[in-house]
Structure formats: C-alpha cells, structure tokens
Chains A and B, each alone.
Chain A
Amino acid sequence: MISSLKEMPREAGETGGMAGSGAGSQLLEVAMGPHHPSTHGVFRMDVQLEGERVVRLKPVFGYLHRNHEQIAEKTSYLGSMPYTDRLDYLCSMSNNWAYALTVEKLTGLQPPERAEYIRVIMAELTRVQNHAGLIGFLLQDMGASGTPLMYAFREREKILDLFEWVSGARMMCNYMRFGGVRVDLPEGWVEGALAFVERAPRFLDEYEGLLRNSEIVMARTQGVGLLPAELAVNAGVTGPMLRASGVNYDLRKVDRYGVYDRFSFRVPLGEKGDVYDRYMMRLLEMRESVSILAQALRDLPGGPILDPKSKLRGLRPKAGEVYGRIEAPKGELGFYLISDGSTNPYRYRVRPPSLINLTVLEDMCLDRSVADVVVILGSVDIVLGEVDR
C-alpha cells in the first residue's frame, strides 16, 4: 500500500506546505493523542502523512492500562465483579454478564429464569445507551458539535435512571452475581422500563432524522473506511463492525446464551463495510434492542433471582479453565479463566472487543485524509478502559 502510493502520479503542490517543497518525498510524522478531543480517551495514533494522505498509522496503547487482569488474579472471584464494571465503562451491565456467565460455566451454577430475563433486559438497555452515545460522539467527530450528543445523553440519562433505580449506581452497577442477579427489580421498575420502551421509537426516529439524510454526513461517511469481509474475519473484528461488513455473526444467535433463543429479532447486516454502514448498523440495532426489550418485559416471569447453590464468599471452583463470551455492544466480550482450586483465579483474561477491532484501523485509514481518520476511529467504537484494561 505504501509503495504503491509513492508511485502514484502527483500534481505539483499536492503534498501541501507542511511536508516541505520536495515534491512528495518528505513524510510528516504526527502524533495524534494521547490528549486529543477526537480519540475518545487517552489513545495515540502515530500517523505518517504525505501531505494530507495517511501512509502509515500505528496505534499506541497503554495510556489507560490499569492492570485489571493482574488485580483480578489477586482478588476473589466476587471481588473482580465491580472491576468488570470499569472495563467498558459505558456498558457495565453487559460486562457483568460476561463475567458472571464465565464463572457460571466454570462452576456449573444455573441462573433462574427470572434472572436470565432481567439480564437480557439490562444488556439490551446497555446496548441502546452505548449505541446512542457512540452515534453522538461519531457525529460530533464529524463536526455536528453538541446537538446529537445532547440528544443521546438525554436518552442515556433515562436508562441510567433505570439502572440506578435497580442497582443503586448510575454507571458502575455491580449488579450481577454468579447464578443470578443481586437484587430483584423494585416495585414500579417494570412500568418505568415499559414507559421508556414505549417512548424509545420516537427518540430513535428523531435521532435518525436528525442527520441520517444530511448530505454532509453522507459525504463524510459513504465509501470511507472500507473494511472487506475477509479481512474483518481474519482480523477478529466482531460486533456491529463485523456485521457492517456483511458477515452474519451475532453471538446472541450463534451461542444462544441466556434466553436469547426465546425472542424474535433480526440481525441487521451492512453491505460495503464503510463508516456509513457502521453508523446505520447502530441505528438498526437499537431498534432491534427495543423490540427485544418489549418482548422480555412482556414475558418477564416471576420466581427467584439467584441460584440457591450460589454463595457469596469463598467461591472455590474446581481446577480447570473456561472461556465464556457474550455479544457486548462493541463486539465479542470474552473472559478466559483458569482456576487452580483456590479462591482467586490463577489466570484472568479479558478478550477486549475494542482492542481487537482496532487491528484493522491502519488498513481502513490508509490513503485517506486526516479528517477521515477521526471519523473512522469514531465508527470503530472504542472505550479505552477496555482497550488497555
């Protein structure tokens, strides 16, 4: 890619003033980040530019490497649960679920039906607020400063209210337990959630109408950051990004974890795998999530919320290892645990979708301009807490 670019015929002055007068021979190194408004946190990209064009892009990680894995290997199984909240700090509920699911696989605990439904409800609420937030940030990166993000956060606050109502915290819910959930839904919660679900389509219409048809958004997103399906699969890209490239792989359908096989929902797929597809993917997934929410709230059964065999303290799974994964809003979130029979895991590993989705960042950005890099990165949907852990 780099060599082919250098051979391209170039008109005079195209390299831009910064690269100097030597026609096309000088490259400009720019470090974007770690403090940069468009990198969604402390993330750095070492970009090599030829004029405006990107010829090389190397992401630099670790500015938020908080040693989650090592700390988890030193604390009890339960003690890691609040730390998983802080992985992808926008989606603490789905992180909780992924970790609880993995430990349940390791120990054989079985959550009761009501708990499974509650988990689905929480995960889908999380997906709605994550995607709404992401689109807000993405449009902000494109210059729609303020308004879309305001709308997204207005809706997000409503979901956070639901979370706080049930778990007591806005962001760091620490709600799920091995074999169920911590507390039952309080009185009136289901009605509150139903009220949200009823209003949600109106919000989604509004949010979609806001900029979906805007010529500027189309010009900035269509055909930008193309990701072919084969490359996406080989690079381990998962989640909405993979599906935007046209690969039908949704763990809710493939693994059928939880009770996802009881709901009817569609998996939206993209065609080209450009930024526009990824943007639309989020909008469509939010609608599907709302439909799952309506079904789950309608069918929510009564009964216990915790496996009677589950215990809070002194969990000692048998020696062995397990890999559990769920479809988190950003992709496949996996936990790999090795137990040596003691109260804390011997090895605790998080498979971060955000980090692995960035593998293809350079491929998507090559030969594009700096302004496109910002948009492409925005469409990947990263949260640094998860990228660096």
Chain B
Amino acid sequence: MEQDLKAELQKHGVFTTTFEELYNWGRKNSVWPLTFGLACCAIEMIATTMARYDLARFGAEVFRASPRQADLIIVSGTVTKKMAPQVVRLYNQMPEPKYVIAMGACAISGGPFRDGYNVLKGIDRYIPVDVHIPGCPPRPEALIDAFMALQRKIAGQQLTGGARARHLKPETPSEYPVPEHGEHGLEPTLNAEVWNPLRVIQ
C-alpha cells in the first residue's frame, strides 16, 4: 500500500497495516533486556530504569535475569578476558531474535582500559553488535537514544526476501564459539566470522 494513501486513510480513522509491520511493532515495543551489568555503565543502566528516566516507557520494563527469557543483551561495561567466555555463553543461550547493545567505551573497544592485559578490546570480536553507544559512561538519555535506535532497526527488519533479518536466514549462526582461557590470553583472540577490523587504505 502506498504511504500517501495510508496516511490519508489514517486521517479518517482507518488504520491499515501489513503483517510485517504489526509483527515488528509488537517486537519493538516489548524488548526485554537481560539483567546483565558488568561495570560502571551498569549503574547508568540501572539509573535509566529508575524513576527519572524510566526505560519502562519504551516497553523494556522487564529486565530478565535469565538469558532464556531475554531479547536484548546490553553489554554495559568492561569485558575482561576472564569474563568474555561467559558473555558469549550468555549470548548463545538467548533465543532468537536477539540483539546486542554495546554500551560505553569499554564494551565497544576496551575503552580507557584497552591497554590492560586482562581487557578484551571490544565485544564485537566475539558477538555481533547492533548498536554502539560511545561515552564513558553514556548518560541515561544516551542509552534511551540507543534503545530507540534499536527499536527503529527492529521496525525496519524484513521478514521475507533476500534482505530479511539476520535471525531468519538459515545460514547465519545463532550461537558463536566460546573462547577459551589459554596460558597467556584468550584463544582464539577473535572470531573472524564476526569481527570487522579497521582497514586503513592508503
């Protein structure tokens, strides 16, 4: 249906929708995040759910403690090498469709602690990330902004056709290999399937 016609009908009190839109509308307004706090950003994540910012207004009222009941993992804080396998395992245990928000500098790239021997330089080495929020820590408003960006992404996902959402493609994995603790660090140091390194083209 054409957008103009739809808008016109809406003015007259006739609402039309496609199955895809209805389905995505439902999904985007009931994203349940995982109660998963790692470090400083987790406090801002909690602050976002509290009275002043109230993330519940966006349908994310329920923070689930079990990954089996969660749709979204907010990686909020520094992922250390000791913790990385557990984060990947939690991600693997979440049912599809699932989304990842990398909240704060540490989760994106290791942030200020990236020179540390026990700090993972970004969670996108092991699991795919949908939205990155820079900041150290990002303000609660920034998390809400990222949450809305994720909602827009969900609303725009196609259910059929070649460009359909990641979780609907049979060839994309739902689980990723869990890194192991080696003698000097994590093995492997990254998952080449997921990670896109920065290329400098001179």
Interface residues of A (CB under 8 A from B): 34-37, 41-42, 62-68, 70-71, 74, 82-83, 86, 89-90, 149-150, 153-154, 156-157, 170-172, 384-385, 388
Which one of A34, A42, A68, A384 has the highest number of Cβ atoms from chain B below 10 Å of its Cβ? Answer: A42
CB distance from A49 to the nearest CB of B (A): 20
Give the CA-CA distance A184 to B68 in the complex, in Å: 50
Give the CA-CA distance A277 to B189 in the complex, in Å: 47
- The chain A residue sitting closest to B136, CB to CB, is A172
Select one of A37, A90, A388 contacting B43, CB under 8 A: A90
A157 touches B47 (CB 8 A): yes
B80 touches A153 (CB 8 A): no
Given contacts A89-B39, A153-B50, A154-B52, contact A63 B116 (CB under 8 A): no
B96-147 interface (Cβ within 8 A of A) = 106, 112-113, 115-119, 136-137, 139
Given contacts A62-B82, A66-B118, A385-B40, contact A86 B112 (CB under 8 A): yes
Judged by DSSP, the binding face of B is: loop
CB-CB under 8 A from B52, the residues of chain A are 153-154, 157
CB-CB under 8 A from B136, the residues of chain A are 172
Give the CA-CA distance A159 to B170 in the complex, in Å: 50
A71 touches B113 (CB 8 A): yes
Count of chain B residues with a beta carbon within 8 Å of a chain A beta carbon: 33
CB-CB under 8 A from B46, the residues of chain A are 149, 153
Give 4 nearest A-B pairs by CB, closest first.
Answer: A67-B116, A89-B40, A153-B50, A66-B113
Select one of B37, B106, B113, B115 contacting A41, CB under 8 A: B37
Give the CA-CA distance A34 to B44 in the complex, in Å: 20
Besides A89-B39, A157-B50, 5 other A-B contacts (C-beta < 8 A): A35-B36, A36-B65, A64-B39, A154-B51, A384-B39
B39 touches A385 (CB 8 A): yes
CB distance from A352 to the nearest CB of B (A): 15
A64 touches B77 (CB 8 A): yes
Which one of B42, B43, B106, B139 has the highest number of Cβ atoms from chain A below 10 Å of its Cβ? Answer: B43
Instruction: Check: B92 CB closer than 8 A to any chain A CB.
Output: no
CB-CB under 8 A from B119, the residues of chain A are 66-67
Give the CA-CA distance A66 to B79 in the complex, in Å: 9
A42 touches B113 (CB 8 A): no
B118 touches A65 (CB 8 A): yes
Given contacts A34-B83, A64-B77, contact A150 B50 (CB under 8 A): yes
B43 touches A89 (CB 8 A): yes
Instruction: Check: B24 CB closer than 8 A to any chain A CB.
Output: no
Select one of B40, B44, B115 contacting A71, CB under 8 A: B115
Give the CA-CA distance A89 to B104 in the complex, in Å: 14
B40 touches A34 (CB 8 A): no
CB distance from A325 to the nearest CB of B (A): 23
Instruction: Check: B159 CB closer than 8 A to any chain A CB.
Output: no
CB-CB under 8 A from B112, the residues of chain A are 71, 82-83, 86
Give the CA-CA distance A71 to B46 in the complex, in Å: 28
CB-CB under 8 A from B39, the residues of chain A are 41-42, 64, 66, 86, 89, 384-385
B40 touches A66 (CB 8 A): no
Select one of B50, B51, B82 contacting A65, CB under 8 A: B82
B83 touches A42 (CB 8 A): yes
Give the CA-CA distance A336 to B12 in the complex, in Å: 73
CB-CB under 8 A from A62, the residues of chain B are 80, 82, 118
Give the CA-CA distance A154 to B65 in the complex, in Å: 23
Give the CA-CA distance A67 to B118 in the complex, in Å: 7
Give the CA-CA distance A388 to B80 in the complex, in Å: 11
10 contacts between A and B (CB under 8 A): A63-B86, A67-B113, A67-B117, A86-B112, A89-B40, A150-B51, A157-B47, A157-B52, A171-B40, A388-B80
Give the CA-CA distance A89 to B36 in the complex, in Å: 17
- The chain A residue sitting closest to B34, CB to CB, is A35
Instruction: Check: B90 CB closer than 8 A to any chain A CB.
Output: yes
CB distance from B84 to the nearest CB of A (A): 10
Instruction: Check: B165 CB closer than 8 A to any chain A CB.
Output: no
Given contacts A63-B83, A71-B113, A154-B50, contact A37 B65 (CB under 8 A): yes
CB distance from A143 to the nearest CB of B (A): 14
B38 touches A41 (CB 8 A): yes
Select one of A64, A70, A82, A170 contacting B139, CB under 8 A: A170
CB distance from A226 to the nearest CB of B (A): 29
CB-CB under 8 A from B36, the residues of chain A are 35
CB distance from B72 to the nearest CB of A (A): 15
Give the CA-CA distance A166 to B83 in the complex, in Å: 35
CB distance from B63 to the nearest CB of A (A): 9
B80 touches A35 (CB 8 A): no
CB-CB under 8 A from B86, the residues of chain A are 34-35, 42, 63
